[in-house]
Structure 1
């Protein structure tokens, strides 16, 4: 927000944990830093708006700023007004679609929400819930709690492009240890059901199917859904040496729920892998 002022948004369910983590590092690890953190959760109301028409809807109701790609690029921030209420608009996406987050003072949240709904009527705007959001994130291959389980590394999740090669970061001293670079580590992959049946979270992946004596798991499913975009049952999974297995066949083995069947191991990016829908 300024030279020395930042607003951090977190996953809603873990806002308290993130705040606790920041305070721990400031108190114990980096006490010399001239940094203060303050929870401002109660001061803000936020609404996310996403999809191919998201920008057009904002353009029809926002004053005081443009929202085109030049004025508001991906990861950009602008300030304007909606229904006379000062708002801060951040362009970011969890779903993989063109998306924005609109922030206002907490007391004006309902007014801004209703203005967005009204502006969206000519564009067939609908509200969506967590199941729809979860489906879109699986199609996109975005990771969340089930994949970030405290045992995976950035490399396992194909996020090592985010790691600095010029300066140290939390975990950098350990990242090249033998056990963390082993070729058979569990890596994030996508799965496609080849028998057109739903998956179950937590089900195991095996190379040879043995329903009478399930054994030799090479990984497990972390998240699954039916993909409306693909017309298939898909899943994200952590599989040994997963990246090298793209395009190969295996089996899902779930004896507790009597679900066995063939699968194809693919990239975790099922839909719009180049991000054109989000960056356009």
Structure 2
């Protein structure tokens, strides 16, 4: 069911309030089913994952077209009543004008926030220059402002994520993105407490998103104590799902063993959950139209 503009605006307001209310976890579904399951577990907001969605379509991360991503965002927005943050990669354009045009299309899907990366995807020049990156963020900011919608803009510094762990340049970029209009700052790839704290302090009072992509010693409470305001998982949940699938299928293919099915959720449990979720959504829809 496509949400109304009133519903979308309520979600956007709730999403902004989450950023002002302390640390929260922003898990990343890759389809309608995983989105509804996460909503059923009580999370307050969701974020798309470019990698998780691409893998579900038999593609490598970064291979999805703009139109495919927009369709996916509409699907996630319609899947639950939660705000959705869009992993909007580099804006799907080499120039600021294209970024602005595509951000406007993303806003129309109903998302409550979207991120713009400063990675180029080109091995020879993996990052946009600071000047270029700022121009692209400003273009995204202008598109959001012109829409009149309260959509959060997240500025991403990809230094650590692409294998160039330069903390000073990361902070310089994040500060510039904040000045360019980013509401939230994000440097995926940070893993050390001193680096996380340095980023949080450098862009305060604006909120910082931290990517947790693997198991470790962190807890949500510990990251909150460092000043992190939101925690996303990127493609980690999708990778965990693929790991279970791969283990079960590989045991069957290589050993003729069904042992990998031992941890499978019962079909009755899945059917009951999705039937109940659908019934609840239908009841809400009927009450609003009645």
TM-score by length of structure 1 reads: 0.21
TM-score by length of structure 2 reads: 0.21
Q: Which has the higher contact order (CA 8 A, sep 6+)?
A: 2
Structure with the greater alpha carbon radius of gyration:
1
| Higher-helix-fraction structure | 2
